[in-house]
Amino acid sequence: MSDNDVLFTYLLRLADDQLILGQRLGEWCGNAPTLEEDLALTNISLDLIGQARSLYSYAGEVEGKGRDEDQLAFVRYEQDYLNALIAEQPNGDFAHTIVRQFFVSAFMAPFWREMEKSSDNTLAAIAAKASKEVAYHLRHTSEWVVRLGDGTDESHERMVEALEDLVMYTGELFESDGLVKAAIEAGFAVDVASLQDEWKRTVDSVLKEATLELPEAGHMQSGGREGRHTEHLGHILSELQYMQRAYPGMSW
Amino acid sequence: MSGAVDMTENSQSAVRKAAWDAAAAVPDPEIPVVTVEDLGILRSVEIADDGTIVAKVTPTYSGCPATQFIEQMVLEALQQAGFKDARVEAVLSPAWTTDWISDDGKEKLRKYGIAPPQKTSNSKRALFGETVVSCPHCGSEETERVSEFGSTPCKALYRCNECKEPFDYFKCL
């Protein structure tokens, strides 16, 4: 794999994470528990989709085959998407949505901060922007984790369930396969394994305040980075891709 | 003459200023009391080697839907000012910060009913840091945050416990 191919695939993985999670959050539009939360979840979604757009556009340039952001986002097949599995997990109840977003934000905050040091100027610039945005996502979801965990018996119980259901998808975020190692070697990537302690500290401190605990992680699910997905991704794509499949090349 | 610019020494700065003035006057589509210059979204207006005017703009938030609209409006403003071949480029780095909003812009925001961003962002406590936001209507500091996210990506929802009015706060970034 050439350095260029490594960069392209690395960008796709990162872009797919943001797009798929952004699409998931968008499903709450009009359905969230309160109007303020409806706005909040869709605002976060908008940030993520905005980040995805910058990443796809750059990936298209790097690839040099004339594919633009829309083609990369909308007309690939399921096994070509390289997002981490946590991004595609269903919204479930509000507790599941909040825990999923909290886990991811606690990872993306240090990730983007480190990416600001990337040797790749475009990636560093995208990171500088995203870094500021994710700080709000982490703060917002942290507040909800505390409110729900330290809330009623019902909300506490739902948070416990959400933590148990989702913890198995967190390991994948810190995996470094050959591609990540090559990307780190090339100087533009973040050494995700080195972020695990910080993630754990952030998660533990918020959960403690929420009278919750991170469940013991047993087997960690993975495969998303290689295009092996849970059953949920295909369903998201059928909705996400509908317009571009029905009317190829359409634009607003 | 097409859009290309005559490049004699003296005229160059005058041309650049004319182009800047045209682009700078473009209002923000969401908050029309402030211009792209007030908000610090318009980063530079230069004359490229081929003589065309190149305006550089930066988005406030990655996903801000107004970004593309602003680029289009800046382009049209330049074209109307006679710079037919003008281009608008988006720049991401350095990342936009609310520190770039001019004092004049902040005052315009306040008069419009939007509390301008406070100086330093979430530094007090990393996760639960609260900033004191003064009510743009009565000036009271007895305000509370209703939601971290508001009607546009750049705003949060607040309410004043003194005059009881709700208001938008321009988030610090």
Task: Give the per-residue pLDDT at B1.
Answer: 46
Closest residue by Cα to residue A235 from A8, A15, A24: A24
Mean pLDDT, rounded, for B53-66: 89
Task: Give the per-residue pLDDT at B154.
Answer: 84
Mean pLDDT, rounded, for A181-200: 97
Radius of gyration, CA atoms only, chain B: 19
Query: Which of B93, B146, B148 has its CB closest to that of A140?
Result: B148
Q: Is B146 on the interface with A (CB under 8 A)?
A: yes
Q: Which token pair is A61? A: 């340039």
**A161 CB-side CA count, 13 A:** 12
Q: Is B69 on the interface with A (CB under 8 A)?
A: no
Task: Give the per-residue pLDDT at B119.
Answer: 63
The answer to whether the CB atoms of B63 and A130 lie below 8 A apart is: no
Look up the CATH number of domain B9-90: 3.30.300.130
Q: Judge whether A32 and A38 are in contact, CB under 8 Å.
A: yes
Task: Give the per-residue pLDDT at B5.
Answer: 56
H helix or E strand, kind and range, residue B57: strand B53-57
Q: What is the mean pLDDT of chain B?
A: 86
Query: Which of A49, A135, A205 has its CB closest to that of B63?
Result: A49
The answer to whether the CB atoms of B122 and A135 lie below 8 A apart is: yes
Measure Cα distances from B51 to A46, B12, B44, B109 in Å: 37, 10, 15, 36
Chain B nearest C-alpha distance from A183 (Å): 22
State the residue range of the domain holding A235: 3-246
Q: Is B129 on the interface with A (CB under 8 A)?
A: yes
Question: B7 falls in which pLDDT band (50, 70, 90)?
Answer: low
Chain A nearest C-alpha distance from B65 (Å): 9
How many domains does one find in chain A? 1
Alpha-carbon span B59 to B29, nearest angstrom = 13
Phi, psi of A185 (to 5 degrees): -55, -45
Mean pLDDT, rounded, for B112-125: 68
**B4 CB-side CA count, 13 A:** 8
Task: Give the per-residue pLDDT at A163.
Answer: 98
H helix or E strand, kind and range, residue A46: helix A35-63
Task: Give the per-residue pLDDT at B129.
Answer: 52
Task: Give the per-residue pLDDT at A69.
Answer: 93
- pTM of the complete model: 0.88
Determine if residue A177 is left, alpha or beta; phi over 0 gives left, psi from -120 to 50 gives alpha, anything else beta: beta
A99 part of a folded domain: yes
Mean pLDDT, rounded, for B56-61: 91
A199 part of a folded domain: yes
Task: Give the per-residue pLDDT at A124.
Answer: 96
Within chain B, what is the greatest distance between any pair of CA atoms? 60
Task: Give the per-residue pLDDT at B126.
Answer: 36
Which residues is B55 bridged to in the sheet?
B45, B88
What's the pLDDT tens digit per position in A76-123? 999 999 999 999 999 999 999 999 999 999 999 999 999 999 999 999
Closest residue by Cα to residue B153 from A32, A28, A42: A42
Chain A nearest C-alpha distance from B87 (Å): 19
Closest residue by Cα to residue B26 from B61, B75, B86, B98: B75
Task: Give the per-residue pLDDT at B11.
Answer: 83
A40 neighbourhood in chain B, CB within 8 Å: 147-149
B72 neighbourhood in chain A, CB within 8 Å: none
Looking at chain A, the whole-number percentage of residues with pLDDT higher than 90 is 94
A252 part of a folded domain: no
Alpha-carbon span A45 to A190, nearest angstrom = 23
Q: Quick one: angle between helices A94-115 and A121-149, nearest 10?
A: 150
Q: Judge whether A148 and A155 are in contact, CB under 8 Å.
A: yes
Q: Domain map of chain B by residue range?
A: 9-90, 101-170
Q: Nearest-CA residue of chain A relative to B126?
A: A139
H helix or E strand, kind and range, residue A225: none
A70 part of a folded domain: yes
Query: Between β-strands B87-90 and B53-57, what pairing exists: parallel, antiparallel or unpaired?
Result: parallel
Task: Give the per-residue pLDDT at B6.
Answer: 56
CB atoms within 10 A of CB A93: 14
A121 neighbourhood in chain B, CB within 8 Å: 93
Determine if residue B113 is left, alpha or beta; phi over 0 gives left, psi from -120 to 50 gives alpha, anything else beta: left
The answer to whether the CB atoms of A43 and B92 lie below 8 A apart is: no
Q: What is the mean pLDDT of chain A?
A: 96
Question: B125 falls in which pLDDT band (50, 70, 90)?
Answer: very low
Closest residue by Cα to residue B73 from B26, B31, B25, B22: B26
Pairwise pLDDT comparison (B71 vs A1), residue with the higher score: B71
Q: Which token pair is B11? A: 């005229």
Task: Give the per-residue pLDDT at A114.
Answer: 98
Closest residue by Cα to residue B48 from B75, B76, B79, B88: B88
Q: Judge whether B133 and B121 are in contact, CB under 8 Å.
A: no
Task: Give the per-residue pLDDT at B127.
Answer: 44
Radius of gyration, CA atoms only, chain A: 18
> Is the model's pLDDT at A159 over the cut of 60?
yes
B60 neighbourhood in chain A, CB within 8 Å: none
Q: How many CB pairs under 8 A join A and B?
A: 88
A251 part of a folded domain: no
Q: Which token pair is A10? A: 């690395």
Query: Which of B65, B93, B121 has its CB closest to that of A121?
Result: B93
Give the CATH number for residue A21. 1.20.1260.10
The answer to whether the CB atoms of A46 and B65 lie below 8 A apart is: yes
Q: Nearest-CA residue of chain A relative to B92?
A: A125
What's the pLDDT tens digit per position in A203-219? 999 999 999 999 988 89
H helix or E strand, kind and range, residue B101: none
Lowest average pLDDT, out of A110-119, A236-245, B117-126, goes to B117-126
Q: Which token pair is B134? A: 């003064």
Mean pLDDT, rounded, for B110-134: 69
A39 neighbourhood in chain B, CB within 8 Å: 147, 149-151, 157
